[in-house]
Amino acid sequence: MIDVNTAGEVWIFAEQRAGTLADTPLELLSKGRELADALGVKLGAVLMGQNVSGLCATLGHYGADKVYLVEDAMLAQYQANSYTRAMGELIHEHRPQIVLYGATPVGRDLAPRIASNLKAGLTADCTDLQIGDHEVKKTGSVYKNLLFQIRPAFGGNIIATIINYDRWPQMATVREGVMPMPEPDMKRKAEVVRHNVSLSAEDLPIEILREEMQGRKVNLKASRVIVAGGAGVGSKENFRLIYDLAHSLGAAPGATRAAVDLGFIDRDHQIGQTGTTVRPSLYVAVGISGAIQHHAGMSESKKIIAINNDPDAPIFSAAHYKIVGDLNAVVPMMIKAIKEKV
């Protein structure tokens, strides 16, 4: 059990595979930076693996003040036991106040094991994190500067804000793609703190016989926000607008069949009756007229924003926010507004 340490750092788990960082740790760095600044503490990234020290610089560029580097041949492949062992040692030694993991298959395998080992709290699949105060009504005690761990529950019907104030660290897994990617600052440098862990064969109870991992694939179904473009976007070059808006929102880019047929984007991104059916929290339809086939694939989105220059476009009948205007002007305005707010 680890006691409260309000001077503790904010940490993120820097998941890597075969020496390559995923996007998730970079997204975590952006949120982690914000939290660490709000608390006035350092932001640390925990990097484990074999021959991965080359990634320390990248973690620094994306916002880490420190990189806790654990290099060991026995950490070359991820395993719950060995990684729990190493992370547990680091947390005991440095007592961070917050530890964040990506809610990836690895993060969701690892974080609960660590929480159980440390007898610490863990909130799964957060979509937002904030710093705030909590009052325990019964005793009147006020706990300041806690991590508000915000997540949907009950199939998305409620938003719960979870805290832990008496046992630390405060830990959460964070849904992929909901935190925006930070802009790298090539001049930033992180201090590297090496840690040695002594592992034995017992810490590697699993033998990986075979595996096949595809690179980063579009996962429209798992995306909380989708920005989709239609024929109205006009050209493959102009589809850059869709990617940029998606990027600013941490969203997945999608498209109508018409846009795919015109070669603006890959078929993997197609949404509609003959593509993927999606139910994101937010669907931004850009230059999409709203054919019934497309509607079938996205009508259950919780919120829909439609941007189209034709006020009579059928998409508007499905939209919660209707923006009649030139997408070439509206999309950049949206990106600007998001960057200012988030």
User: Among residues 130 and 273, whose Cβ is nearest to other proteins?
Assistant: 130
Which one of residues 71, 109, 244, 268 is an interface residue with other proteins (CB under 8 A)?
A: 109
Residues near other proteins (CB under 8 A), total: 86
The answer to the question of residue 3 lying near other proteins (CB under 8 A) is no
Give the separation between CA 269 and CA 308, rounded to whole angstroms.
Answer: 20
Site map (CB under 8 A) of other proteins, residues 162-201, x = contact: xxxxxx----------x-----------------------
Task: Retrieve residue 168's tokens.
Answer: 């630390």
Give the separation between CA 38 and CA 25, rounded to whole angstroms.
Answer: 19
Q: How far is the CB of 162 from other proteins (least distance, A)?
A: 5
Q: Which of 203, 272, 269, 282 is nearest to 236 (CA)?
A: 269
User: Among residues 197 and 306, whose Cβ is nearest to other proteins?
Assistant: 306
The answer to the question of residue 342 lying near other proteins (CB under 8 A) is yes
Q: How far is the CB of 33 from other proteins (least distance, A)?
A: 16
Which one of residues 145, 238, 281, 293 is an interface residue with other proteins (CB under 8 A)?
A: 281
Residues in contact with 193: Cβ distance below 8 Å, sequence separation at least 6, in sequence order: 44, 66, 67, 68, 69
Per DSSP bridges, beta strands 170-174 and 252-255 are unpaired
Q: How far is the CB of 78 from other proteins (least distance, A)?
A: 10
Per DSSP bridges, beta strands 191-194 and 142-153 are unpaired
Which one of residues 108, 195, 247, 279 is an interface residue with other proteins (CB under 8 A)?
A: 108
Contact between 268 and 278 under an 8 Å Cβ cutoff? The reply is no
Q: Give the dihedral of Cα atoms 257, 261, 267, 269; nearest 10 deg.
A: -50
Which one of residues 69, 90, 120, 220 is an interface residue with other proteins (CB under 8 A)?
A: 120
Q: Which of 57, 41, 118 is nearest to 86 (CA)?
A: 118
User: What SS3 class is residue 129?
Assistant: strand
The answer to the question of residue 341 lying near other proteins (CB under 8 A) is yes
Q: How far is the CB of 306 from other proteins (least distance, A)?
A: 9
**In the range 210-249, which residues lie near other proteins by CB under 8 A?**
210-217, 219, 225, 249
The answer to the question of residue 206 lying near other proteins (CB under 8 A) is yes
User: Among residues 69 and 306, whose Cβ is nearest to other proteins?
Assistant: 306
Contact between 96 and 45 under an 8 Å Cβ cutoff? The reply is no
| DSSP secondary structure, 39-60, as one string | HT--EEEEEEESS-GGGHHHHH
Task: Retrieve residue 219's tokens.
Answer: 């996962």
**In the range 84-103, which residues lie near other proteins by CB under 8 A?**
84
**In the range 308-337, which residues lie near other proteins by CB under 8 A?**
316, 318-326, 329-330, 333-334, 336-337
The answer to the question of residue 8 lying near other proteins (CB under 8 A) is no
The answer to the question of residue 117 lying near other proteins (CB under 8 A) is yes
The answer to the question of residue 18 lying near other proteins (CB under 8 A) is no
User: Among residues 257 and 294, whose Cβ is nearest to other proteins?
Assistant: 294
- State the angle between helix axes of 240-249 and 327-341 in degrees (0 to 180), rounded to the nearest 10: 20
134, with CB counted inside 10 A (0-12, 13-18, 19+), is middle
Q: How far is the CB of 275 from other proteins (least distance, A)?
A: 19
The answer to the question of residue 279 lying near other proteins (CB under 8 A) is no
The answer to the question of residue 38 lying near other proteins (CB under 8 A) is no
User: Among residues 7 and 158, whose Cβ is nearest to other proteins?
Assistant: 158
Angle at 139 between CA 136 and CA 142, to 5 degrees: 45
The answer to the question of residue 127 lying near other proteins (CB under 8 A) is yes
